[in-house]
Amino acid sequence: MTTEQKVEQFVTRNSKKGYFTKVSTISYKFEVSEDIAWSIVGELLSNGSFESIHDEYSGEMKLCETGKIYTILDLERKRKRDKYRNNNKQSKKKRPSQNTNS
């Protein structure tokens, strides 16, 4: 299997699981140069089965299957919200009650 096919399968698998694939991940995960990684990304985008979005904070390019951007963005928001809620619950449990001598 070629590196291009491996990358394509990786991006597809991440999309199906509800995650984007950062372009920067491709070069070190598949041990290819950044130039080759960008060449692969260009091929994936040009064949129409993948699309990209840029991270709103870092500006980094992320890939997913065509038509899944909004689904994955929604899942990311839900994961962040759940993480925030879980962290708040844990921090409230750790704090001693402030009304003990009322």
Using alpha carbons only, what angle is made at residue 15 by residues 21 and 38, rounded to the nearest 5 degrees?
35
Confidence at 96, pLDDT banded by 50, 70, 90:
low
Could you tell me which residues come within 8 angstroms of residue 16 by beta carbon, excluding any fewer than 6 positions away?
Answer: 65
Instruction: Select 3-90's CATH number: 3.30.1660, 1.10.10, 1.10.490, 1.10.3470.
Output: 1.10.10
Q: Is the pLDDT of residue 97 over 70?
A: no
Paired residues of 51 in beta bridges: 64
Token pair listed for 64: 């997913």
Mean pLDDT across 45-63: 94
Mean pLDDT across 28-53: 95
Q: Tell me the angle at which helices 3-16 and 34-46 cross, rounded to the nearest 10 degrees.
A: 60
Domains of the chain by residue range: 3-90
Q: pLDDT by residue (tens digit) across 59-94?
A: 999 999 999 999 999 999 999 999 988 888 787 777
CA distance 12 to 16: 6
**Count of residues for the chain?**
102
Q: Is the pLDDT of residue 33 over 90?
A: yes
Question: Using an 8 Å Cβ cutoff, are 65 and 12 in contact?
Answer: yes
Mean pLDDT across 31-45: 95
Q: Is the pLDDT of residue 54 over 70?
A: yes
DSSP letter, residue 17: T
